[in-house]
């Protein structure tokens, strides 16, 4: 209620701003564009991302809109392909924890008892582990590559989902419409899938979006450490790392891929925050 009042104040004070689209709407459009560019990179990119030339370390120009890197590769083309690489890494890195956490949380919430207690204890203890340091250690043990990334994100990321889904399942288990479904003779798995899970999924979607941002940072920083994607793969963090030694003379080479990470991160967070404030508002209203 107080938020609504504040909203009226803010909008009446700056009436001109109201006509503009909201920040999260702009962010959503940017994310859709990014996804389109990532998917259509082979058709959109003016050059091959790995084609080398003798035009090395050139600032932005007509031929190369964002310049070329140390091997004479077109930076715009590499960034388009890098979006593809990054999306292909972060979607599974955020998705797998969601799937594992939802399954574990559903089972724990539905079964209760010993299973529930065990899951809660493991979650409590696991939460103390530092994600990114764990990530580096895993890469050292398993070798660089998407597998280490997926294992580390899943090992630590499932907890949030398991907690959330467990609480939701326990809450809904006793709701009227679920008991009605039982009375109509539905089996437990049917009730779970048809009635309980759809409610829980709305909230997990929010976390998924926010986790995309975390995964993006994780992928980028690992590549920056030279522990991420194979060298030569177009990836935003790796592009920053590769250009690092030219930072004094050619700052744009470092600035551009880094700025792309920032824009992507800000947009993901804006959409995620909007989703979370909406789901929170809904559950408050109920």
CB of 249 to another protein, least distance (A): 10
CB of 74 to another protein, least distance (A): 21
Decide whether 15 or 62 has the Cβ nearer to another protein.
Answer: 15
Radius of gyration for the chain, computed over Cα atoms and rounded to the nearest angstrom: 23
- For the segment 79-138, give every residue that binds another protein (CB under 8 A): 121, 125-126, 128-134, 136-138
CB of 224 to another protein, least distance (A): 5
For another protein, which stretch binds (CB under 8 A), given 87-95, 108-116, 159-167, 250-258? Answer: 250-258
Site membership for another protein, residue 251 (CB under 8 A):
yes
H or E segment to which residue 147 belongs: helix 146-173
Can you read off the two tokens belonging to residue 1? 């209620």
Q: How far apart are CA 220 and CA 225, in angstroms?
A: 9
Task: Encode 35-104 in three state secondary structure.
Answer: HHHHHCHHHHCCCCCCCCCCCCCCCCCCCCCCCECCCCCEHHHHHHHHHHHHHHHHHHHHHHHHHHHHHH
HSE on the CB side for 43, CA within 13 Å?
4
Site membership for another protein, residue 248 (CB under 8 A):
yes
Virtual torsion, Cα 144, 150, 151, 153, nearest 10 deg: 110
- For the segment 215-234, give every residue that binds another protein (CB under 8 A): 217, 220-221, 224-227
User: Binding residues for another protein, per CB under 8 A?
Assistant: 9, 121, 125-126, 128-134, 136-143, 213, 217, 220-221, 224-227, 237, 240, 244, 247-248, 251, 254-255, 258, 261-262, 265-266, 268-270
């Amino acid at each position: 209620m107080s938020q609504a009042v504040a909203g009226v104040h803010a909008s009446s004070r700056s009436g001109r701003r109201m006509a503009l689209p909201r920040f999260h709407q702009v962010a959503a459009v940017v994310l859709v564009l990014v996804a389109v560019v990532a998917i259509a990179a082979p058709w959109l990119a003016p050059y091959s991302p790995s084609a080398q030339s003798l035009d090395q370390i050139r600032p932005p120009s007509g031929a190369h809109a964002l310049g070329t890197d140390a091997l004479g590769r077109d930076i715009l083309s590499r960034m388009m392909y890098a979006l593809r690489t990054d999306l292909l890494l972060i979607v599974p890195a955020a998705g797998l924890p969601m799937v594992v956490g939802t399954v574990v949380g559903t089972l724990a919430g539905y079964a209760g008892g010993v299973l529930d207690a065990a899951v809660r204890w493991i979650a409590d203890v696991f939460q103390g582990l530092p994600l990114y340091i764990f990530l580096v250690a895993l890469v050292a043990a398993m070798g660089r590559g998407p597998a280490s990334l997926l294992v580390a994100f899943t090992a630590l990321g499932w907890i949030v989902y398991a907690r959330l889904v467990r609480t939701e399942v326990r809450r809904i288990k006793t709701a009227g419409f679920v008991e009605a479904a039982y009375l109509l003779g539905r089996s437990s798995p049917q009730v779970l899938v048809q009635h309980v899970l759809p409610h829980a999924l709305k909230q997990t979607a929010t976390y998924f979006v926010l986790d995309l941002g975390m995964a993006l940072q994780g992928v980028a920083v690992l590549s920056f450490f030279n522990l991420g994607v194979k060298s030569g793969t177009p990836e935003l963090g790796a592009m920053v790392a590769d250009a690092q030694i030219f930072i004094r003379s050619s700052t744009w080479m470092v600035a551009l891929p880094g700025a792309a990470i920032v824009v992507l991160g800000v947009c993901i967070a804006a959409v995620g925050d909007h989703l979370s404030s909406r789901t929170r508002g809904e559950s408050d209203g109920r």
